[in-house]
Amino acid sequence: MGWMLIRVWAILVYIFMFLPVAVVVLLSFNASQFGSFPMTGFSFRWFIELANNEAILRAFRTSIILGGLTALVSTTLGVLASLALIRYKVPGQNLISTVLIAPILVPEVVLAVALLLFLNFLSLNKSFALLLFGHVIFTLPFVILVVQARLVGIRRDIEEAALSLGANPVQTFFQITLPLLMPAVLAGGLFAFTISFDDITGTLFWKPGGVETVPTQIFAMLRNSISPEINALGTVMILLTVGLPVLGLAIARWASMKSGG
Protein backbone atom coordinates (compact mmCIF):
# COMPACT_ATOMS: atom_id res chain seq x y z
CA MET A 1 0.00 0.00 0.00
CA GLY A 2 2.67 2.49 1.06
CA TRP A 3 4.88 1.31 -1.77
CA MET A 4 2.03 1.88 -4.26
CA LEU A 5 1.74 5.50 -3.11
CA ILE A 6 5.47 6.04 -3.46
CA ARG A 7 5.38 4.51 -6.92
CA VAL A 8 2.52 6.75 -8.08
CA TRP A 9 4.27 9.78 -6.58
CA ALA A 10 7.51 8.94 -8.40
CA ILE A 11 5.63 8.57 -11.68
CA LEU A 12 4.03 11.99 -11.12
CA VAL A 13 7.48 13.50 -10.51
CA TYR A 14 8.76 11.97 -13.76
CA ILE A 15 5.72 13.36 -15.63
CA PHE A 16 6.38 16.76 -14.10
CA MET A 17 9.98 16.61 -15.32
CA PHE A 18 9.12 15.45 -18.83
CA LEU A 19 5.83 17.16 -19.68
CA PRO A 20 7.09 20.68 -20.52
CA VAL A 21 9.93 19.27 -22.61
CA ALA A 22 7.54 16.99 -24.48
CA VAL A 23 5.22 19.92 -25.18
CA VAL A 24 8.11 21.90 -26.73
CA VAL A 25 8.83 19.02 -29.11
CA LEU A 26 5.12 18.58 -29.89
CA LEU A 27 4.55 22.28 -30.64
CA SER A 28 7.63 22.52 -32.84
CA PHE A 29 5.77 20.36 -35.38
CA ASN A 30 2.63 22.48 -35.16
CA ALA A 31 1.55 23.90 -38.52
CA SER A 32 -0.15 26.89 -36.86
CA GLN A 33 1.60 30.21 -37.26
CA PHE A 34 1.43 30.90 -33.52
CA GLY A 35 3.71 29.03 -31.16
CA SER A 36 0.85 27.65 -29.16
CA PHE A 37 -2.19 25.41 -28.98
CA PRO A 38 -4.34 24.26 -30.65
CA MET A 39 -2.36 21.98 -32.96
CA THR A 40 -3.59 22.65 -36.47
CA GLY A 41 -1.52 20.05 -38.29
CA PHE A 42 1.86 18.40 -38.60
CA SER A 43 4.56 20.36 -40.34
CA PHE A 44 8.32 20.79 -40.65
CA ARG A 45 8.00 24.44 -41.69
CA TRP A 46 9.50 25.84 -38.46
CA PHE A 47 12.59 23.71 -38.86
CA ILE A 48 12.97 24.97 -42.42
CA GLU A 49 12.58 28.58 -41.26
CA LEU A 50 15.11 27.86 -38.55
CA ALA A 51 17.61 26.58 -41.08
CA ASN A 52 17.21 29.84 -43.00
CA ASN A 53 17.53 32.11 -39.96
CA GLU A 54 20.92 33.74 -40.30
CA ALA A 55 21.06 34.99 -36.67
CA ILE A 56 20.38 31.54 -35.23
CA LEU A 57 22.90 29.84 -37.50
CA ARG A 58 25.51 32.38 -36.42
CA ALA A 59 24.65 31.74 -32.76
CA PHE A 60 25.03 28.01 -33.36
CA ARG A 61 28.48 28.48 -34.89
CA THR A 62 29.56 30.67 -31.96
CA SER A 63 28.24 28.18 -29.40
CA ILE A 64 29.91 25.20 -31.06
CA ILE A 65 33.29 26.94 -31.42
CA LEU A 66 33.08 28.25 -27.86
CA GLY A 67 32.01 24.88 -26.44
CA GLY A 68 34.69 23.03 -28.40
CA LEU A 69 37.51 25.33 -27.30
CA THR A 70 36.24 25.30 -23.71
CA ALA A 71 36.19 21.49 -23.71
CA LEU A 72 39.70 21.35 -25.19
CA VAL A 73 41.28 23.76 -22.68
CA SER A 74 39.33 22.52 -19.65
CA THR A 75 40.02 18.86 -20.35
CA THR A 76 43.74 19.45 -20.89
CA LEU A 77 44.09 21.40 -17.66
CA GLY A 78 41.82 19.00 -15.80
CA VAL A 79 43.66 15.83 -16.87
CA LEU A 80 47.06 17.27 -15.91
CA ALA A 81 45.81 18.44 -12.51
CA SER A 82 44.03 15.13 -11.80
CA LEU A 83 47.19 13.17 -12.63
CA ALA A 84 49.15 15.23 -10.12
CA LEU A 85 46.51 14.85 -7.40
CA ILE A 86 45.96 11.11 -7.79
CA ARG A 87 49.40 9.84 -8.84
CA TYR A 88 51.68 11.91 -6.61
CA LYS A 89 51.90 12.78 -2.96
CA VAL A 90 51.52 16.54 -2.97
CA PRO A 91 51.71 18.55 0.24
CA GLY A 92 48.43 20.33 0.92
CA GLN A 93 46.47 17.99 -1.33
CA ASN A 94 43.10 18.77 0.27
CA LEU A 95 43.62 22.50 0.01
CA ILE A 96 44.60 22.21 -3.65
CA SER A 97 41.53 20.08 -4.40
CA THR A 98 39.28 22.61 -2.70
CA VAL A 99 40.90 25.47 -4.63
CA LEU A 100 40.35 23.69 -7.94
CA ILE A 101 36.70 22.87 -7.09
CA ALA A 102 36.04 26.41 -5.78
CA PRO A 103 34.48 27.77 -9.01
CA ILE A 104 31.48 25.45 -8.47
CA LEU A 105 30.94 26.88 -5.00
CA VAL A 106 30.89 30.53 -6.07
CA PRO A 107 27.52 31.71 -7.43
CA GLU A 108 27.83 32.19 -11.17
CA VAL A 109 26.72 35.84 -11.04
CA VAL A 110 29.50 36.66 -8.59
CA LEU A 111 32.07 34.83 -10.67
CA ALA A 112 30.85 36.67 -13.76
CA VAL A 113 31.01 40.08 -12.09
CA ALA A 114 34.46 39.52 -10.58
CA LEU A 115 36.05 38.38 -13.82
CA LEU A 116 34.37 41.07 -15.91
CA LEU A 117 35.32 43.94 -13.60
CA PHE A 118 38.87 42.69 -13.09
CA LEU A 119 39.59 42.42 -16.81
CA ASN A 120 37.94 45.79 -17.29
CA PHE A 121 40.29 47.24 -14.69
CA LEU A 122 43.18 45.81 -16.70
CA SER A 123 41.71 47.70 -19.70
CA LEU A 124 40.85 44.44 -21.45
CA ASN A 125 37.54 44.81 -23.25
CA LYS A 126 34.78 42.26 -23.51
CA SER A 127 35.89 39.75 -26.10
CA PHE A 128 35.55 36.19 -27.26
CA ALA A 129 38.65 35.40 -25.18
CA LEU A 130 36.92 36.63 -22.01
CA LEU A 131 33.95 34.40 -22.83
CA LEU A 132 36.30 31.45 -23.32
CA PHE A 133 38.22 32.12 -20.06
CA GLY A 134 34.95 32.40 -18.20
CA HIS A 135 33.61 29.12 -19.55
CA VAL A 136 36.91 27.36 -18.80
CA ILE A 137 36.85 28.47 -15.18
CA PHE A 138 33.44 27.06 -14.38
CA THR A 139 33.74 23.84 -16.41
CA LEU A 140 37.18 22.92 -15.02
CA PRO A 141 35.90 21.58 -11.65
CA PHE A 142 33.47 19.20 -13.38
CA VAL A 143 36.21 17.81 -15.64
CA ILE A 144 38.50 17.31 -12.63
CA LEU A 145 35.78 15.47 -10.69
CA VAL A 146 35.02 13.14 -13.61
CA VAL A 147 38.66 12.42 -14.51
CA GLN A 148 39.75 11.90 -10.88
CA ALA A 149 36.98 9.38 -10.28
CA ARG A 150 38.19 7.34 -13.23
CA LEU A 151 41.91 7.73 -12.51
CA VAL A 152 41.49 6.24 -9.03
CA GLY A 153 40.26 3.06 -10.71
CA ILE A 154 43.29 2.63 -13.00
CA ARG A 155 45.76 0.31 -11.35
CA ARG A 156 49.11 1.80 -10.61
CA ASP A 157 51.03 -1.42 -11.29
CA ILE A 158 50.25 -1.33 -15.02
CA GLU A 159 52.06 1.99 -15.22
CA GLU A 160 54.86 0.69 -13.03
CA ALA A 161 55.25 -2.33 -15.28
CA ALA A 162 55.72 -0.04 -18.27
CA LEU A 163 58.26 2.05 -16.37
CA SER A 164 60.21 -0.99 -15.24
CA LEU A 165 60.30 -2.28 -18.82
CA GLY A 166 62.16 0.87 -19.77
CA ALA A 167 59.44 3.32 -20.88
CA ASN A 168 59.98 6.90 -19.73
CA PRO A 169 57.17 8.72 -17.87
CA VAL A 170 56.00 10.56 -20.98
CA GLN A 171 55.84 7.35 -23.02
CA THR A 172 54.04 5.65 -20.14
CA PHE A 173 51.48 8.45 -20.04
CA PHE A 174 50.73 8.39 -23.76
CA GLN A 175 50.83 4.63 -24.26
CA ILE A 176 49.36 3.32 -21.01
CA THR A 177 47.61 5.91 -18.87
CA LEU A 178 45.95 8.03 -21.55
CA PRO A 179 44.33 5.14 -23.46
CA LEU A 180 42.96 3.76 -20.19
CA LEU A 181 41.80 7.22 -19.20
CA MET A 182 40.21 7.96 -22.58
CA PRO A 183 36.58 7.28 -21.57
CA ALA A 184 36.93 9.76 -18.70
CA VAL A 185 38.69 12.30 -20.94
CA LEU A 186 35.86 12.05 -23.47
CA ALA A 187 33.19 12.18 -20.77
CA GLY A 188 34.87 15.19 -19.13
CA GLY A 189 35.22 16.96 -22.48
CA LEU A 190 31.60 16.28 -23.37
CA PHE A 191 30.50 17.49 -19.95
CA ALA A 192 32.49 20.71 -20.41
CA PHE A 193 31.08 21.18 -23.91
CA THR A 194 27.49 20.69 -22.73
CA ILE A 195 27.86 23.05 -19.77
CA SER A 196 29.43 25.70 -21.98
CA PHE A 197 26.84 25.20 -24.71
CA ASP A 198 24.04 25.62 -22.19
CA ASP A 199 25.42 28.52 -20.18
CA ILE A 200 23.52 31.79 -20.20
CA THR A 201 24.10 33.81 -17.03
CA GLY A 202 27.87 34.20 -17.29
CA THR A 203 27.60 34.55 -21.05
CA LEU A 204 25.21 37.50 -20.76
CA PHE A 205 27.78 39.32 -18.60
CA TRP A 206 30.81 38.48 -20.71
CA LYS A 207 29.68 38.46 -24.34
CA PRO A 208 30.83 41.34 -26.50
CA GLY A 209 28.09 43.37 -28.22
CA GLY A 210 26.66 41.62 -31.27
CA VAL A 211 27.92 38.17 -30.29
CA GLU A 212 25.15 35.73 -29.40
CA THR A 213 25.31 32.10 -28.32
CA VAL A 214 22.30 29.84 -28.79
CA PRO A 215 20.90 30.36 -25.26
CA THR A 216 21.33 34.16 -25.36
CA GLN A 217 19.75 34.18 -28.82
CA ILE A 218 16.74 32.25 -27.51
CA PHE A 219 16.57 34.61 -24.54
CA ALA A 220 16.57 37.63 -26.86
CA MET A 221 13.84 36.06 -29.02
CA LEU A 222 11.70 35.40 -25.92
CA ARG A 223 11.44 39.12 -25.27
CA ASN A 224 8.99 39.50 -28.16
CA SER A 225 6.79 36.46 -27.80
CA ILE A 226 7.18 32.73 -27.95
CA SER A 227 7.35 31.96 -31.66
CA PRO A 228 7.08 28.47 -33.15
CA GLU A 229 10.67 28.90 -34.26
CA ILE A 230 11.79 28.89 -30.62
CA ASN A 231 10.06 25.56 -30.08
CA ALA A 232 11.77 24.17 -33.18
CA LEU A 233 15.11 25.49 -31.91
CA GLY A 234 14.29 23.93 -28.55
CA THR A 235 13.72 20.57 -30.21
CA VAL A 236 17.08 20.81 -31.99
CA MET A 237 18.76 21.75 -28.70
CA ILE A 238 17.09 18.85 -26.91
CA LEU A 239 18.32 16.46 -29.59
CA LEU A 240 21.84 17.90 -29.28
CA THR A 241 22.16 18.16 -25.49
CA VAL A 242 20.41 14.86 -24.80
CA GLY A 243 21.72 13.04 -27.85
CA LEU A 244 25.40 13.94 -27.34
CA PRO A 245 25.74 12.61 -23.77
CA VAL A 246 23.78 9.47 -24.67
CA LEU A 247 26.09 9.01 -27.65
CA GLY A 248 29.07 9.60 -25.35
CA LEU A 249 27.78 7.01 -22.92
CA ALA A 250 27.30 4.55 -25.75
CA ILE A 251 30.86 5.17 -27.02
CA ALA A 252 32.26 4.74 -23.51
CA ARG A 253 30.39 1.46 -23.06
CA TRP A 254 31.45 0.22 -26.50
CA ALA A 255 35.08 1.15 -25.76
CA SER A 256 35.07 -0.58 -22.40
CA MET A 257 33.47 -3.68 -23.91
CA LYS A 258 36.14 -3.75 -26.59
CA SER A 259 39.01 -3.32 -24.15
CA GLY A 260 37.40 -5.62 -21.60
CA GLY A 261 37.06 -8.39 -24.21
Question: Which is nearest to 189 in space by CA: 97, 98, 258, 251?
Answer: 251
Q: 55, 161, 242, 250: which one contacts other proteins (CB under 8 A)?
A: 242
Question: Which is nearest to 138 in space by CA: 62, 73, 209, 61?
Answer: 73
Q: 149, 163, 182, 251: which one contacts other proteins (CB under 8 A)?
A: 149
Q: Does residue 255 contact residue 183 with C-beta atoms inside 8 Å?
A: yes
183 binding other proteins? (CB under 8 A): no
* Shortest spacing between CB 69 and other proteins, in angstroms: 14
| Of residues 69 and 119, the one with the C-beta less far from other proteins | 119
| Of residues 179 and 243, the one with the C-beta less far from other proteins | 243
Number of residues in contact with other proteins under rule CB under 8 A: 89
- In b/e form, how buried is each residue of 132-165, taking b as 16+ CB within 10 angstroms? bbbbbbbbbbbbbbbbbebbeeeeeeebeebeee
- Beta-carbon contacts of 62 under 8 Å, excluding residues fewer than 6 positions away, are 211, 212, 213, 214
64 binding other proteins? (CB under 8 A): no
Q: 50, 59, 71, 81: which one contacts other proteins (CB under 8 A)?
A: 81
Question: Which is nearest to 109 in space by CA: 195, 215, 192, 206?
Answer: 206
* Shortest spacing between CB 10 and other proteins, in angstroms: 4
**Span 192-221, contacts to other proteins by CB under 8 A:** 194, 197-198, 200-201, 204-205, 214-215, 218-219
* Shortest spacing between CB 165 and other proteins, in angstroms: 19
Q: 45, 58, 103, 211: which one contacts other proteins (CB under 8 A)?
A: 103
